[in-house]
Amino acid sequence: MKRVDWNALDDAARAACLARPGGGGQADIEAAVRRVFEQVRADGDSALRALTRRFDGVELGAFEVTADEFASAEDAVTPALRAAMVEARGRLLAWHRAGMAAPFELETAPGVSCGRMLRPIRRVGLYVPAGSAPLPSTALMLGVPAQLAGCEEVVLCTPPRADGSADPAVLVAARLCGITRVFKLGGAQAVAAMAVGTASVPRCDKLFGPGNRYVTAAKQFAAMMAGGPAIDMPAGPSEVLVIADAGAPPVHVAADLLSQAEHGPDSQVILATDSAALAEAVAAEVARQVAELPREAIATAALEHARLIVVGQLADAFELSNDYAPEHLILAVREPRRWLDAVQSAGSVFLGDYAPEGLGDYCSGTNHVLPTNGAARAWSGVGVQSFQKAISFQEVSRAGLAAIGPCAVEMARAEGLEAHAQSVLRRLEVRA
């Protein structure tokens, strides 16, 4: 892990220190994604079969999971895992329900009533990765808010396993959220199928879910299509930034860094601390712990992009964190709530020594589909509002029009839009 003295760096060196890995080859990825979309648009299901054969090594006749496959999945999942998913879903429901937006209406002037109503997005497409490991937790994280929003149709795509089946735990998680349409499709071709539609896969109005660089590029390409679907956010390789003081247990900090490093070789983990001694202790602990992990090779590759940053004071750590805008931010400091106001940009924040990021990934109740690659400067994590549309409305009486109409006329004429002014004046039975 690269160790850095933050105070010794100039602005350019600091920017380089916080650069995300894997920035190269983006043009090639975008070109590959464009070709996938062209194939799926032209040849539909035939293209999906060919792409699945090429990228997943699986020959599929039908993509959609059958009722028998759902039943087999229930038998394949252990009672302990199913109980854990039910427990996690309960907390997700509670947290998301508490944060739901509400419709409202108020009188903005006598005789002028304005309000907002909420409507679910009609058809949404969820992507659940299963690259180096299936992620049934992502099915819950996307399925729960979609269910609370009341979306009419929910479509879920997840890559097929070597035997052509979908991961049983993903299917059980989907069923717990009321999702019955699951397709064994992965990668950019799954995104393309949900974006343009095929004979088998319905075209969706908005796409959700994390993925690798190809999936992220495919979602962004879909969103730029004329009449294409909206997307939840840019959600690529995982990342964590830990801000720790001298009192943080090195064993905990190291475990938190490795919990993200094991996601993939393009994940990034960063420690920012005002204690050089802690940085040294964490480095030693990371080296010890990584050797014990089943995914040691993946985590070790990710650690090539890791940074141990020593700052002059904790305030500097929060400043660099806000510039970096991490997907996950862990505050391994004494009195972490005292520092919460200093956080301006982050996907999700974990306070104190007993809030590992792993809880947020699975069962604390918050959502783990979060903005990455600095998108947390402007984007939020997935919530019920992500699956809804807010539609404004207004009702105006004759007295209300008389009260506020002159305001509209004045502003319309200032903008040179006389027809706008006349739409008010004609109702007032006054001619310009």
Choose the catalytic residue: 262, 327, 357, 368.
327
Can you read off the two tokens belonging to residue 12? 């350019």
Q: Residue 252: phi, psi to the nearest 5? A: -70, -45
Query: What's the CA angle centered on 140, arms 271 and 243, to 5 degrees?
Result: 10
- 158: nearest Cα among 201, 119, 198: 201
Q: In whole angstroms, give the CA distance from residue 212 to residue 26.
A: 12
Q: At what angle do helices 45-56 and 187-196 cross, to 10 degrees?
A: 170
- Which residues share a beta bridge with 350? 330
Report DSSP state, residue 167.
Answer: P
Q: At what angle do helices 213-224 and 26-43 cross, to 10 degrees?
A: 60
Half-sphere exposure for 116 (CA within 13 Å, toward CB): 8
Is the distance from CB of 340 to CB of 351 less than 8 angstroms? yes
Half-sphere exposure for 69 (CA within 13 Å, toward CB): 21
Residue 327 a catalytic site member: yes
368 is in an annotated binding site: no
328 is in an annotated binding site: yes
Q: Which amino acid is at 319?
A: E
220 is in an annotated binding site: no
Choose the catalytic residue: 328, 368, 395, 429.
328
Can you read off the two tokens belonging to residue 251? 């064993």
Report DSSP state, residue 187.
Answer: H
Helix (H, G, I), strand (E, B) or coil at 79: helix
How do 348-351 and 112-120 pair as beta strands? unpaired
- 377: nearest Cα among 18, 11, 13: 18
39 is in an annotated binding site: no
260 is in an annotated binding site: yes
Q: Tokens 């149709």 belong to which residue? A: 153
- Cα–Cα separations (whole angstroms), residue 174 to 91, 161, 244: 16, 17, 37
Is the distance from CB of 213 to CB of 236 less than 8 angstroms? yes
Q: In whole angstroms, give the CA distance from residue 107 to residue 21.
A: 52
238 is in an annotated binding site: yes
Q: In whole angstroms, give the CA distance from residue 258 to residue 283.
A: 11
- Residues annotated as catalytic (active site), given as ranges: 327-328
- Binding positions are 127, 189, 212, 238, 260, 263, 328, 361, 415, 420
- Binding positions for NAD(+) are 127, 189, 212
- Binding positions for Zn(2+) are 260, 263, 361, 420
- Binding positions for substrate are 238, 260, 263, 328, 361, 415, 420
